[in-house]
Amino acid sequence: MSTRTAVVTGASSGIGAATARKLAEAGFHVVLTARRTDRLDALAKELTADGRSVAVHALDVTDRAAVDSFAAGLDRCDVLVNNAGGAVGSDPVATADPADWRLMFEVNVLGVLNVTQALLPALVASGAGTVVVLSSTAGLATYEGGGGYVAAKHGAHVIAETLRLELNGKPVRVIEIAPGMVKTDEFALTRFRGDAERAAAVYAGVAEPLTADDVADTIAWTVGRPAHVNVDLLVLRPRAQASNYKVYREQTQ
Ligand code: 8X3
């Protein structure tokens, strides 16, 4: 029997890369996917040197034909981690650019749909499949300026909820992970279109925002539960964040 295989989307950085590491450490053969293969290659080299089993596949989750051909080439799939996603812009609904919204819907909603649909037959065939959907606390409650991202993450949340109902009776569980404030190299920077000052302000005075490792550790824990145990939805935030709005910030001067 071949090794259990986990596919991670958006594995080139942040939560995706950290999750790939944890699952490889847990003994999975991990298929690292993302658009930026140079980063995947570097991660694969590091993991291989540590004796882990990994493969790299360039993948844009919004490209359905590419997703289908990726799925057709996979020997097996036991775990799918739908991690690829992100926020672009922080404009109010009244003035937001529909192009930003389209982009966020493409990656956060249709990306999850594309990859999940394509890998579902293999996940069912595994006899004990797991679909992880990385949503966000933005998928459960809204905030001003969240607009398109909040709407898209609500979409991801609804995919997880609906899929769980539809798969009832099949050997596939659906786990939703909803992180709050996570400090990664890219999330806030992308949201603010490269404005490093605005990106840094998100975390200003917050003693310990979550790290990508914190989230990856949680994902690996849920995936590691026995197959009959389904962690439906797990919300995690740093202690300093009591809600999307209420964040404790230490005075810096
Ligand atoms: C990221 C959390 O609060 O920036 O998914 O929307 S938040």
Q: Which residues are catalytic?
A: 149
pLDDT at position 50 over 90: yes
Structure confidence by residue, pLDDT tens digits, 83-95: 999 999 999 999 9
Q: Does ligand 1 have an atom closer than 6 angstroms to the CB of 241? A: no
> pLDDT value at position 178?
98
Q: In what order do the strands lie in the sheet with 54-58?
A: 54-58, 29-34, 5-8, 79-82, 129-134, 172-179, 233-236
CA neighbor of 181 nearest in space, from 155, 215, 147: 215
Output the pTM of the full model: 0.97
Q: Does ligand 1 have an atom closer than 6 angstroms to the CB of 114? A: no
The stretch 51-63 carries a mean pLDDT of 98
**In this structure, which residue's CA is closest to atom 4 in ligand 1?**
181
> pLDDT value at position 251?
81
CA of residue 32 to ligand 1 center, whole Å: 24
pLDDT at position 191 over 70: yes
pLDDT at position 57 over 60: yes
Structure confidence by residue, pLDDT tens digits, 202-219: 999 999 999 999 999 999
Q: Does ligand 1 have an atom closer than 6 angstroms to the CB of 244? A: yes
Give the CA-trace dihedral at 114, 115, 117, 121, to 10 degrees. Answer: 160
> pLDDT value at position 110?
98
CA of residue 132 to ligand 1 center, whole Å: 18
Ligand 1: residue of 90, 140, 149 to mutate (most ligand atoms within 8 A of CB) is 149
pLDDT at position 232 over 70: yes
**In this structure, which residue's CA is closest to atom 5 in ligand 1?**
136
Mean of all residue pLDDT scores within the chain: 97
The stretch 190-201 carries a mean pLDDT of 94
Q: Angle at which helices 212-224 and 14-25 pack, to 10 degrees? A: 40
Structure confidence by residue, pLDDT tens digits, 6-48: 999 999 999 999 999 999 999 999 999 999 999 999 999 999 9
CA of residue 144 to ligand 1 center, whole Å: 12
Q: Does ligand 1 have an atom closer than 6 angstroms to the CB of 83? A: no
* Model confidence band, residue 253 (pLDDT cutoffs 50, 70, 90): low
* Domain 5-247: assigned CATH number: 3.40.50.720
The stretch 42-57 carries a mean pLDDT of 98
> pLDDT value at position 2?
82
The stretch 137-151 carries a mean pLDDT of 96
Q: Does ligand 1 have an atom closer than 6 angstroms to the CB of 90? A: no
CA of residue 136 to ligand 1 center, whole Å: 6
Index of the ligand 1 atom closest to the CA of residue 149: 6
d(CA 149, CA 4) in angstroms, rounded, equals: 33
pLDDT at position 252 over 70: no
CA of residue 122 to ligand 1 center, whole Å: 31
The stretch 191-199 carries a mean pLDDT of 94
Q: Does ligand 1 have an atom closer than 6 angstroms to the CB of 152? A: no
CB 28 within 8 A of CB 4: yes
The stretch 136-148 carries a mean pLDDT of 96
Q: Does ligand 1 have an atom closer than 6 angstroms to the CB of 138? A: yes
* Model confidence band, residue 108 (pLDDT cutoffs 50, 70, 90): very high
The stretch 185-195 carries a mean pLDDT of 94
> pLDDT value at position 66?
98
